[in-house]
Structure 1
């Protein structure tokens, strides 16, 4: 059976589906090793309409692949570290990715394919009510 490319994301009260991006194979390979991945989403400080999972000095050894500084709603990115801390960025609206050090770019490795209509509400929940639990799980292929 081939590896699934679908990830189920449960974030706060919302259920979403996402697919891996082929343009970021090393980032995808890394993220697969973390699944299932449970953390908390908090609202970004600098970048706009996004949530993040700060990872401090974590060094995954992943290079920049298809990095962007202006991701679209529904894109999930990994910033592998460097001039700012390592992080996952979960975009729900307009984003100009940056930190107090200036503009940043990160690898777009996962895209929401179902449930995108709930992204704005999820972002507003995190902004006004605080951190929300998030769980990323691989959806097994059915035969």
Structure 2
């Protein structure tokens, strides 16, 4: 089991890569490590935060795809109909864009610190973009 340490908005989390359910997506994400970005609040999807990754599509198969990630689940949308992104659900999410419903690959699940997710979501919503960093646990 591969764990990723995450720091976001002053909060600390640990997450498990879903390597059995989304092996290609997990391998691609691991290749991006260490990864530092900004986390902003979603516009259409509900109680979630996302990392915009631009218009460059990622060549990923659909694996473990969902429109409704549970709190603490990250999904990777590889691009196509909407901008490429990584989304973190902190509450109820119905993943969508201005073009309508989308699905993304659930590849990462928070296993430590999940109780902090609502506070992180409120901070991103009311204070704006927050730094987020991902590091594989040694």
TM-score by length of 1: 0.94
**Stretches of structure 2 lacking an aligned partner (at least 5 in a row):** none
- Correspondence for 1:11: 8
Q: Deviations over 1:72-131 (max 9, x none)?
A: 000001001111111000110000000110000000000000000000000000000000
**Structure 1 stretches of 4+ moved >2 Å:** none
**Stretches of structure 1 lacking an aligned partner (at least 5 in a row):** none
CA-CA distance at 1:59 after TM superposition: 2.1
Structure 1 vs Structure 2 CA RMSD = 0.8
Secondary structure in structure 2 of the residue aligned to 1:46:
coil
Aligned equivalents of 1:63, 1:86: Cα separation in 2: 14
- Number of aligned positions between the proteins: 137
CA-CA distance at 1:55 after TM superposition: 1.0
- Correspondence for 2:17: 20
Q: Does 1:34 align with 2:26?
A: no
